[in-house]
Amino acid sequence: MRLFLDRIPWQLATVAALTLGLAPFRPPHIVEKLDMLFHGTLVRPIDWLDLVLHGTPWLVVILKGAFALKR
């Protein structure tokens, strides 16, 4: 996992999180999906897929940061 994350440049991870992770921008889609998750209304498969697709870039940035701080 660490080797995979090391191969992803910080610039690419950051741009992916800020574009794909936040699109559409008003309001950010990831915020809507997280709100649905916390309120228990994230029930349709398409909503779960949306959460995964919009959340993955943020997860990559968080994991890259955690591994960088651990070193």
How confident is the prediction along the chain (71 residues), in pLDDT tens digits per residue? Answer: 888 999 999 999 999 999 988 888 788 888 889 999 999 999 999 999 999 999 999 999 999 999 999 87
**Residue pair 13/59 in contact by the 8 Å Cβ criterion:** no
Residue 55: the pLDDT is 93
Q: pTM of the full predicted structure?
A: 0.85
Residues 6+ apart with CB under 8 A from 30: 21, 22, 51, 54, 55, 58
Rg of the chain, C-alpha, whole Å: 14
Residue 46: the pLDDT is 93
